[in-house]
Every structure is written in C-alpha cells, then in structure tokens.
Structure 1
Amino acid sequence: MTNTTRRHFLQGAGSALAAVGINQLVFQKQVKSYSQVLAQNTPRKLALLVGINQYTSQPLEGCLNDIELQRNLLIHRFGFNPKDIYVVADKEATRAGILTAFEEVLIKQAKPGDVVVYHYSGHGSQIFDPNPIVVEPGKEGLNGTFVPVDGSLPAGYPEVGGAVPDIMGHTLFLLMSALKTENVTVVLDSCFAGGATRDARVRSREGGKKILVSNQEKAYQKEWLSRLNMSPEDFVKGYRQGVAKGKVLAATSPTQLAREMNVNGFKCGLFTYLLTHFLWQEDSNIERIFPKVLSEIPERFKQVPRYEVKVGRDYQVQPPYFINSPKSPAQAIVTKVSGDNAVLWLGGVDLRKVTTGTIFTASNGTGQVKVLARDGLVAQAKIEKPVAEGTPLRLMA
C-alpha cells in the first residue's frame, strides 16, 4: 500500500472500554511524577493514549475500548512498562488536558532513541480558518481537527456560528516536530465529515465555514513556531512534505467517515480493533499489515485506512512502533492469575471462536486454560496447566 497525501495526517477515530481499570491522567496529582522520571538515562517506551466517549452532544461508545486495545497491545506484545503509558480519557480530555499531557509526557520526557506512541480516539471535524498558515488547494480554508471533550458547537448552531477549542492537525504537526526522537508512531481513529449511517456510529462532530478556529489555537501555534525557531515558510514547506516524525496511521482517507462498531459484544473503533488484532498476530511491518486491515473492512463503509511516514525514510518497512524484538505473537494473553483462575485478554483472536469451554494453550510452553465466561475481550478461565501473568496463548489446535 502506498503512502497517502499530506492530508491523511489529520485522520483518525476512537473507541472505549471502561471495564478493565484505565490509568486516567489527573494533572493535579501526576505533574510531579512527570518531572521525577526525567532523569532516567536508559531508552524508554512512552505512550499517551487519548479516548473520549462523553461528549455533551453526539457521545461515542467505543473510544475507551480503543485505548484499552492499544494499552494491552503495548504492554503484553511490545514490552511497554504500564507506568510509562498515560491515559487522558473523557472529562480529563479537554483541550488543555490533551495539550498539557503531550508536552509533559512526550515532549519533555522522550529522549533521542526513545519510542513514542500517541493514540487519539474521538470525534474529528472540519473548521474554518480565515488566516491559515497553510492553504490547501480546493479546501477553501477548512481544516481537519481533533475535538476535545469541551469542543461543543456554539449555542444556536447551525443558525449561529463561532469559535471552538478544537486542536488542529497543524498543531499536532508542531507538537510532533518538538519530539526529540524519530521513533514516533501516531494512531488516529477519527474523521472530519459529519453525518451518520445505519451501519455504525460515526466519529465526527459537525463543522463547516461557520465553525471557526479559536484565537487560543492560533496563539498556541505561534508560540510553538517560536519555540521551534521555525518560520511560517519553513512550517508550510515541512507540512506539505509529510509528517514531522516517524509514521502516522489513520483510520480513513481524506473526506471519509471513521466508524465504531459492535464487534461480537465489544464496542470499539473498527480501525483500532483491526490494527491491534493483526499486530497481536504478526511479526511484520505496517506496509504488510495495512492490506490485511483493509481487507476486513466492509466495502459498503467506504473507509480506507492510510499511513504516512516521514519523507525520505523507510519507516513503513520497519517494525511496528520501532520495536525490533516484540514478544511472541499471540491470540490471547494471561493478564491475571489468582489460584486456579486466570483473566485473559482476547486481542488477537476471532471472538466468534471463543465460547464457554474454549481451550487456549501457551504459545511457547505447556500451559493451558479453559474459558469459563467472556465479556467483550475479557475472559475468565480455569487453569488446567500452569500459566503465569503475561503468558501468550493460542487456540488449541
């Protein structure tokens, strides 16, 4: 699959799972902990995961589940320390909350050579910028944005317009430019276009020419241009060339809708679910995995995920998340052991094949468990042969 145009940088969508203890980020309590880890010298794997369900209007259902899909994948497949995965969810995912977290968690902490993952699941939109830094031919000033939880439309819309506190793709480009490492992966599961379909919930808040970029957003962009010592001309040139760092994986191509679905009892972003599903199973690269993701999306949805890498780099053929030695591929993982019982995460298995009595065996040993019950991607199981937390599992042949 070929790389996309510059515009794909603004794509994404989200989903949710509140059931499995998400480590929400509360700045008043954790800003101190941010600074305490800055002195670490060894290469780190850092992740910031943003998921929003609780919009005042047009709430979503699958964005927190997306975050849990990503979190379990990073921990159990790619070796992230849970303490280095920060989540900003729902009420914490205000404009200020998201931007502060990006600066404190990723920009200030990541050093050259570190691995950085940023995931956004939530609404996307298009808003009007009367004085754009970048003018896209034919777009008439409309810019793709990410909608924070406080990104409500102006009172009286659509008759009345006004500014919204959205975060523009231009801003994300500047924040990525500030990262000190090239090993950056951004996953965006949202869309810009409005509307809904009978097939699935769409992750898009309405927008258009009446919905304006805020003065706060423009000032924030100017601040980062100054901090990066980047002229507007250099920004335009870099933005049009491609992504600032690493690679961006997006739920849709330009103008398309990103959907969240009920996947066998588990509500999630279709793109996030398929991406993480195949990453559990494959020791491969994005260039080879994306066609598999695309093949599983019903054609009637007209949703074509895309990826883009920094110009002049071969990041699409490098390992996912820039991690050369991930843990063993798996269809499930043991996340907790208590006596003769285990909790399983079913991130890499077809849920239609998991029922009461289904047997999983250890991928690289003799362990064995039998499923007692399943709720979404979480299963309760009886241990028949010893397993430990973190044991990768496969369906019994």
Structure 2
Amino acid sequence: MTAASAPEPAHPTDQPATERRISRRVGAIAESATLAVDAKAKALKAAGKPVIGFGAGEPDFPTPDYIVEAAAAACRQPAMHRYTPAGGLPALKDAIVAKTARDSGLQVAANQVLVTNGGKQAVYEAFAALLDPGDEVLLPAPYWTTYPEAIALAGAVPVPVVADEQSGYLVSVSELEAARTPRTKVLLFCSPSNPTGAVYPAEQVEEIGRWAAEHGLWVLTDEIYEHLTYGGATAPSMPVLVPELADRCVVVNGVAKTYAMTGWRVGWILGPADVVKAATNLQSHATSNVANVSQAAAVAALTGDLSAVATMRQAFDRRRQTIVSMLREIPGVACPEPQGAFYVYPSVKGLLGREIAGRTAHSSVELAELILDEAEVAVVPGEAFGTPGYLRMSYALGDDDLVEGVGRLQRLLGQAD
C-alpha cells in the first residue's frame, strides 16, 4: 500500500512524530461548521435538490454598485497591480479612522489600524499577538465557531461562559467573574452577537468593560454587526463607554456584513500601536497586503453614505419578524427575538427524543441532519457554537425562500410525537 493510499490513523495527533502526517496544532482544528453546512446545501442544490440554506451568515444582496465601480477603476490602475504596504493602503487606513470616529465615536490614529483579509484573519492575528501558551480567554457562549479555534491556535485556552435564552443570551459580570482565574488574560466580547443576534444594552457593556479594566484584562471586541440592530437597540463600542480600557482593547471589524461584501475579504484590527505593529509583522509573513482592488472597494464603501445599509437593514428587520413568528408556531421550539445581526437561535430541546417522520433525534446535530434529509432545509446545530440543543438560522436570504424554508420546518416538526 502506498503512502498516498494509506488510511489515516484514528488519532493522528497521538502518533509518534516520525509517523505523524499532520501537526497536533493543525490536526486539532475543526472544520468551520457554518461553511460546511453551506457547502453541503450548495452541493445539493447543484445536484438538483430544492434545498433552502439557512446556514451561512451572508447577505443575499449584491455589493452596492458604487463600490463595484470603484473596484473596476482600481483594476485599471497599474499601481494596484503591485505589492502595497502589508498593513493596508494609507487611503483605506484613513477611511477606517474616519469611519470609526463617525460611527462609534472611537478616536484612533492610522498607526493603530491593520487591514486584514476579512474578519477571521483579524481575530486570529489579534489573538496571536496577545496570547501565550497557557493564557485563558473568557468566551461567552453561544460563540462564533472561529473564536475557540483561533484561541487554541495561539496556544491559549478558551473558557466558555454559557448564557441561555432565559437571559437573552447575555452573560453577566458575576458569571464572568466566576470563570476568571489568575491565567485569564482576555475577554472576547461580541455585540451584536453571532450566532444569537443578542445585543448588550449600553449599561451592561459599560459594566463589563469596567470589570475588565479593574482586573487588568484585555478585551477583544468584535463589532462586525454594529450597523445591524433593530427595534431601537444600539451597539455602543466598549472602549468609548469605558475610555480607561482603550489601551487594553482590540476592536475587530470589517465591510463584509454591513456592505454585503463577504467575498471581498476586507477586515481590520484597531488597537494599541504596539499590538497592531506586532500583528502587522505577523501578517507581513503570512499573507502580506490584502488585495488592492478589494481595498479600493472598501475605501468607496467607508467613504460613501449608509443609504444602501439602511435598505438592507429594513429588509433584515422584516425577515427577522417573519422568522421569529413562524418558528414560535412550532411546538417544542422556543425562539427569543434577536435585536441585531441576522440570525435567530431557537432552542429545540423540546423536540429531542421525540419521533419525527419516523426518526428520533437525540441531539441538535442529529436533528439538523434529519431536517436536511426530510425537509431539504439546511441549518447549523448548536454544538458548533458551544451550546447543544439549539439551531442557528440566518435570515439573510430572500423573503420567499425564508417563508418556504420555515414552512417546511413547520410541516416536518409539527409531526413530532
């Protein structure tokens, strides 16, 4: 048997170094569950199956025309065909500085900005710059699937702090304090939240920030959904509410969600100059500069007005109300109303262990598989976000598909005995 055809060992990370094909560090990484569900749904659709996907957190709108035109113009500029500074085009850094002051009130300088290949790289590089092996990161759960993997890649330990639907998926200072140890270095904070859509009120953001400052913790705050709030909710920036935290706070953001630019891959890190410089050094060896055409598109997005964003937010709000009301009609499903992002995170614990279409699911993973098989609807199980017994569903898809997809769930899950 050749090496190429040899079966993989059951536990490749336990093999002697001379036999190990994949490093322990990378071998321990789990595939992105959200991308895996989305890929499976798209493959089934390509095969002719009428699958409706609620898996990917991706707006169904096209990128606004003025942004696309800026990218097209950049393609024709020879300067954009070359290497540019690893940390980002000066014009984009300036645009990020101005946009941040406009939208959140946070004042930063250009040397406090690193432009990254999307929000995921921003999260990874921020943790890589801050963490050493053995450090602990407080990770409110449900959490976005990338957070614990990025923490582990830095050699640190994610410490989940679980909140459920009873609290609106919001963790309290007392819960964070109970999880803090002498090894705790960073708190991960995300509001509006992926996967729950929860939005922390300003007083709770300030309370958590002051607690972190009091204990000398760093905070990594993910503000990628800052413009997607509903029903009067707002998403204030923690270092603005707690200025004494600013020197120990890293902000992650990007254009993906606000401007329907997920495929353009432009995110950024804002933080103390020494942290940003360290992360820039890492990026200079990992990927160098973000694609110049994408950066030019991001400049147009950030310097333009927010009218296209307002249009998208109005559609998301309509879909949010529709999906919540329809899910609440299913016996055994409890669906809190999200105030931000474009996700619902219903509890399906009431459906587990019950027979549905001749099958019984004992976990939300099994329930998601049953739903895909029987209703041809793709959802992401809560296990991917650190809280079994839930499903994440994105409502960033067309109104007709949303109603048809949830209607299929109503017909299937209404059969539960």
Q: Same fold (TM over 0.5)?
A: no
Relative to its length, the structure with more strand (as a share) is 1
Tell me the TM-score range normalised by the shorter chain.
under 0.3
Relative to its length, the structure with more helix (as a share) is 2
| Higher RCO (CA-CA < 8 Å; seq separation 6+) | 2
Q: Tell me the TM-score normalized by structure 2.
A: 0.25
Structure of greater Rg: 2
